Amino acid sequence: AQKVTQAQTEISVVEKEDVTLDCVYETRDTTYYLFWYKQPPSGELVFLIRRNSFDEQNEISGRYSWNFQKSTSSFNFTITASQVVDSAVYFCALSGVGTYKYIFGTGTRLKVLA
Amino acid sequence: DAGITQSPRYKITETGRQVTLMCHQTWSHSYMFWYRQDLGHGLRLIYYSAAADITDKGEVPDGYVVSRSKTENFPLTLESATRSQTSVYFCASTRDSNTEAFFGQGTRLTVV
């Protein structure tokens, strides 16, 4: 069975602080894909990143970085020097080859205070 | 316009009534999904579809029916709405099962 766990329900930080959002997943597939999405207060869902199970290289995009560790089944997301515009709900998602289910975690609400 | 659109954006219905939420995408994506978003539960998969006439149950399918007679449309029907189905519903599509998902704007459904 597939499962995505985002244990942090809500995080509050002060602007310019670094923050890490945790994502732990479960799957029996050997090939699978992990994603992060952002849902700002306006409500739309915005794709941030996709990572396949064979690529454990960390990725950096501006102030965003992602750490994928198969050994701990985690795909964590770090925002460096957070800004108020980063305030949103962030979702981690998992899709497995063969099942084509696209499963989301419960989300982490990030509040960045000025 | 190209994209994925949901209708209606807002809907209030009474308990026991049938209601259909529409989803239309213009990319000819094979895969389409319906999710409901509730506080504390994140996005839960209701039904999904790999192609026209192929649908599967997700995590919370009870009380819902889907069909997919055409690739571009994936309507979700609540056969007899209950208050527990009050939620925000999102439709999504992907080109392949493991690529970026594109979401509709959501439908806020209230069952009174």
Which chain A residues are Cβ-neighbours of B42 within 8 angstroms?
A: 6, 91, 104-107
How far apart are the CA of B79 and the nearest CA of chain A, in angstroms? Answer: 24
Indicate which of A2, A30, A100 best probes the interface with B, i.e. most B CBs within 10 Å of its own CB.
A100
| Residue B16 DSSP symbol | T
The β-bridge partners of B105 are: none
Q: Give per-residue pLDDT as tens, B51-98.
A: 999 999 999 999 999 999 999 999 999 999 999 999 999 999 998 878
In whole angstroms, give the CA distance from residue B80 to residue B64.
9
A97 contacts chain B (CB < 8 A): yes
A52 contacts chain B (CB < 8 A): yes
Mean pLDDT over A86-100 rounds to 89
CB contact under 8 A, B98 and A33: yes
Q: What pLDDT, on the 0 to 100 scale, is given for residue A57?
A: 84
Question: A108-113 and A10-14: which strand pairing?
Answer: parallel
Q: Which of these ranges, A79-83, A84-88, B50-54, B78-82, has the smallest mean pLDDT?
A: B50-54
pLDDT averaged over every residue in chain A: 93
For residue A98, pLDDT over 80 is answered with: no
Task: Report chain B's terminal Cα–Cα distance, integer Å.
Answer: 34
- The H or E element containing residue B22 is strand B19-25
In whole angstroms, give the CA distance from residue B52 to residue B70.
5
A54 contacts chain B (CB < 8 A): no
CB contact under 8 A, A102 and B88: no
Q: How many Cβ atoms sit within 10 Å of the Cβ of residue A9?
A: 11
Q: What pLDDT, on the 0 to 100 scale, is given for residue B2?
A: 66
Q: Which among B42, B58, B98 has CB closest to A107? A: B42
What is the 3-class SS of A22-80, one letter each residue?
CCEEECCCCCEEEEEEEECCCCCCEEEEEEECCCCCCEEECCEEEEEEHHHCEEEEEEC
